[in-house]
Amino acid sequence: MKPDSPDIKIRKATDKTLAEQLLINDRELAYRKALLGFTEEDEKILKSLKSTITDGVDYIVENFYDAQLQNNEISLLIGDVDTLRRLSQAMRRYILELFEGFYDGEYVNKRLRIGKVHKRIGVSPKLYVSAVNQLQIAIDDYILKEDNANKDCHSCGDKRKAVHKLLMFDMQLVFDTYISSLVAEVQVAKGELEDYATSLETTIAERTSQLKELSTLDGLTGLLNQRGFYENLRRELSVAERNARPLTIIYFDLNGFKKINDTKGHKEGDRVLECVGTAIRATIRDIDFGCRYGGDEFCVIMPNATKENTADACDRLISAYETHDTLGVTFSIGIAQVGPEKFCSSDALVKKADTLMYKAKAKAKKRPGHYKEH
């Protein structure tokens, strides 16, 4: 068989994410965490620090670069004030991502891209390690300062250990893009394990998929539940940002639903919710995700769709819903878009759609009916 040409090999590589190219799957990811003793408890600790770090991220970034610029080699590498400003903005995003509480495949791909960028611009491993050490010091100092201010010193050690483990986890990934020999060793080891476990993996993957589906579905409506919503939203946001495509969510609440529960009982209320679920499933595209966010709140994730496309989809949804006996319950809809140029976190996007939904609800309180805001 004729071997692939270099061009074909390049195309095959660019069809895959960095994690796929380096054969970093869920099992490898879990193994790396175990090697560092990075546990679910550490993830919870990091996520609990999110608001504290968000408040102090500018302070941390400023202290970090103040220390970095004391080194002449680093100062020359940065070069000018505009580059420093861009680096500070990137560092700010990086620090906030450390405390999102999600350290999965999408997180890994971002860290591997950081490694490629640092390698491309000529940052040596010794400078990268020293920078990680300095970042740890800056974050530790801020955590210690806040804990002292709040008289909460008893948990300070656990917080700093969790930060250290995560930074070491990141360093593992970054160094994978620096040292090709380590990548080769990982590939060989993974190949041996995969040959041994192939027959078991298929069964495990199928059962895991079935269990995951059950854990992310709402039993009443058949839609995704809130957990399933955020899992898919985070993934689709990453895909949209990677490919510079728009993504829009519909976030809506039912007007008059509480009155139905109070006067006609929860059985009738559940029937109305089922009607919403049926209408969503009947009108969304194959690539969309219909979700029951909680109670009488629903969401639809629409990849590669603009606000204008989504407004039309809302009209189709309302028409399908009105074919049922809805007992006068109507929708207050908020439509929020990100991309193709500017993106934000999943929490920020949901908050934006929620705010727009409440604007629509204000109109519904004045005059009953379906309303949408975008």
Q: What is d(CA 141, CA 265) in angstroms, rounded to the nearest whole number? A: 55
Q: Going by C-beta distance under 8 Å and a sequence separation of 6 or more, which residues neighbour residue 366?
A: none
Catalytic status, residue 80: no
Contact by Cβ (8 Å): 240, 344: no
For 28-47, b/e burial (b = at least 16 CB within 10 A) is bbeebbeebebeeebbebbe
H or E segment to which residue 335 belongs: strand 330-338
Q: What are phi and psi of 291, to 5 degrees?
A: -140, 145
Q: What is d(CA 287, CA 304) in angstroms, rounded to the nearest whole number? A: 9
Instruction: Specify the DSSP class assigned to residue 340.
Output: S
Q: What is d(CA 259, CA 296) in angstroms, rounded to the nearest whole number? A: 12
Fill in the amino acid letter for 106.
E
CA 13, 18, 23, 27 torsion-angle sign: negative
Catalytic residue among 42, 147, 176, 296: 296
- Which sequence positions are flagged as catalytic? 296
